[in-house]
A and B are shown apart, each in its own frame.
Chain A
């Protein structure tokens, strides 16, 4: 039989308690008991994929010839920039991921306005002309402006903290780089490299009005909120032509001009795929799948209990624990649950059940063969083990290859499926080999069943 049963039981209880704790909360936190500091904190809110809750998916691809290699570091930078830009939209739970070496997948749960998001992603380097009053910010520093990325540039109230002070001033954006019609590298009066720009008629009007009204103040020019140059306004500029001068080298001026023209992304990106997944489709699928899952699981539990009797009931408990642990692991790792992911879960749940069934069929066989219960119990597990081991290793090999593939080529379906399958298989092994075995051994110890027909259904 099995040794250290109560140690095993304690371990199972501990794991189950942790799993249930994670299952029921949306974030976990461990505080230092000696002071109030937080030792560990992690959000474990469940993450649902777009197919389950609706939203927008955008696939971006480096807009360079197929044969050109894209620098991984540059793609990562581009990803970060896209992430920062879209976070400014205030859409929560955006996921921006690299998919392979030349693609970026953006997922925006709950988003419906594709255009707003695409505009933000594709905006060229966001150049702003910012009224900083008398303040002359350092070149290269980052300032807050009231331009949030929408089309209107209305000033918003300056946020203040509880003390009423102003932690981070928010400056008003007069206009953005959208009004630029041409950008060229030139030289300033001192012969240093500078960037010349020409504004559209509307831009020229705004610019003329502002410069006329604010002589002596500072007009800060920023690119993606980073200060490029902060010249003082020396006089009204009526014709919509201006120059940005700063401490530029020729290369620096060139880079800035390119950024203004084509965007500040280190790699140009094009949109190759957009999907709007309706929230009704999502809700419908989710609710019905959940219901289906509950019904399926109920039938399975009833069947196992009725067909396999005592062992079946211990298997039921271990399957429920398997579900609780699986869900907790998903929440803890932040796995996004999608339909392919659910398929992976079903397959691994199937293999958890299969492992139990294999053992119990073996147990019946050994009992029918006339072995005493203790021997039959040990034989059942040791004989069923090679088949459970090999079939699960095969599943792990397959899911590892598929995960690698899905990750490299941005095939999110394949990735979601293989990830949940692999995690599920590992937990299912723990559940069927460790939990079921412990419970069944305990049950045999407690009840000492004599009537094999009644207790084991042989």
Chain B
């Protein structure tokens, strides 16, 4: 099985998904939840009435509260997002809703100061960057027995970045088609995929490390391809039969709030396995052959 021969096809496929997804994400104005932007979210059900969203917005307007968006959920509740409300404003809104429309039950109320999310996100990204750097160092040290050990660490991180990009791209499709939102559970999914991606890539690289010492004469591309094929059964089993099952069950049976989370996780983990085989390992070969020298201009004689 020659997987590496088609490496530019896989690079192209990933790029196509990532670019189109990211374009969708950015053209649709990134749908950050109040976890990041700050603001309030009030979810209510009305006991008897089923008002139009416009009626609810009118109540908010009356109270001089801006940036109001109303969404209805499958369960028949109304999710109202708005600027940051303190407790007095919240009580005022609930009273006004009761007076103007009808008795309400508050299901959920989130109120997040605008400074928090930004700060946590930025620093979270820094934390991920620091841990990625440490993982590169660790892999370089652990692979010191083979040539260019440092490349393995870098390629593992590139594969991880690929998976993160895929998640954002999928979220782009999700916001476009299904009205997804980037909330704190999204972060959880992201972290899980980052952890999985590194683990998975290291397992594939480990086989290259082992084979490099056994088949010293083999050219690098054949060696890497052989290693991928050897670990393929394990990759498929670990991926499809185990992790995916846990998640598939979650996606099917999880509550409404979990479905977006589960879908992102599902695709992210799939991408984690995919990228180890079709991105990380081919990148090693690309680096070894310094193929970028041939990308522009005339191809060197083979």
Q: What is A's interface to B at a CB cutoff of 8 Å?
A: 59, 61, 114-115, 118, 271-278, 280-281, 284-285, 288-289, 291-293, 295-297, 299-300, 303, 307, 339-340, 343-344, 346-347, 349-351, 353-354, 357-358, 361, 365, 383, 386-387, 390-395, 397-402, 404-405, 409-411, 413-414, 417-418, 421
Contacts and interface: CB of A to CB of B under 8 A. Distances in A.
Contacts of A347: 192, 195-196
A343 B188 contact: yes
A285 B203 CA distance: 33
A278 B42 CA distance: 11
B299 interface: no
Given A293-B246, A387-B203, A285 B196 contact: no
B249 A296 contact: yes
SS class, residues of chain A in contact with chain B: helix
Contact of A394 (B116, B120, B198): B198
B245 A288 contact: no
B195 A398 contact: yes
Given A347-B192, A413-B188, 5 more contacts: A300-B246, A343-B189, A386-B206, A397-B134, A400-B131
A307 B256 CA distance: 33
A289 B257 contact: no
B85 to A, nearest CB: 10
A118 B258 CA distance: 29
Given A354-B199, A357-B234, A405-B124, A288 B253 contact: yes
A103 to B, nearest CB: 9
Given A350-B243, A394-B199, A402-B127, A296 B248 contact: yes
A398 B194 contact: yes
B43 A350 contact: no
B113 A387 contact: no
B188 A417 contact: yes
Contacts of A354: 199, 203, 234, 238, 242
Given A295-B249, A295-B253, A414-B191, A395 B198 contact: yes
B270 to A, nearest CB: 13
B23 interface: no
A284 B185 CA distance: 16
Contacts of B253: 288-289, 291-292, 295
Given A343-B189, A343-B192, A292 B254 contact: yes
Contacts of B116: 59, 272-273
